[in-house]
Amino acid sequence: MLNRLFERMIRKTEKQTGESADYLRDISAAAPSAFWRFLAFTPLSQHRGPLPLNAACAARIAAIHAEDCGPCLQITINLALAAGANPDLLRAAVNGDLEAMDADSRLAFRFAEAIAKRDLQSEDLRPDIEARWGKAGLAELALAIASVRVYPTLKRTMGYGQACQRVHIEKETLDATLPALRGHAA
Return all residues near 160 (Cβ < 8 A) that are at least 6 apart: 22, 23
Residue 61 in contact with residue 109, Cβ under 8 Å?
yes
Domain of 86, in residue numbers:
46-181
Beta bridge partners of 166: 175
The three-class DSSP label of residue 97 is coil
Number of compact structural domains in the chain:
1
Q: Residue 54 falls within a domain, yes or no?
A: yes
Which segments within 72-179 are labelled E, that is strand?
Answer: 166-169, 172-175
Residue 179 in contact with residue 96, Cβ under 8 Å?
yes
What per-residue confidence (pLDDT) applies to 163? 65
Rounded distance between C-alpha atoms, residue 103 and residue 109, angstroms: 10
What per-residue confidence (pLDDT) applies to 165? 74
What per-residue confidence (pLDDT) applies to 98? 96
Q: Residue 62 falls within a domain, yes or no?
A: yes
The three-class DSSP label of residue 167 is strand
What per-residue confidence (pLDDT) applies to 113? 96
- Spatial CA neighbour of 114 closest among 134, 102, 98, 135: 98
Q: Residue 16 falls within a domain, yes or no?
A: no
Which residue type does 47 have? H
Q: Residue 32 falls within a domain, yes or no?
A: no
Q: Residue 38 falls within a domain, yes or no?
A: no
Q: Residue 7 falls within a domain, yes or no?
A: no
Tens of pLDDT along the chain (186 residues)? 778 988 999 999 899 888 888 999 999 999 999 998 988 888 888 888 999 999 999 999 999 988 877 788 888 999 999 999 999 999 999 999 999 999 999 999 999 999 999 999 999 999 999 999 999 999 999 999 999 889 888 888 888 876 677 788 887 877 766 454 334 333
Rounded distance between C-alpha atoms, residue 124 and residue 113, angstroms: 13
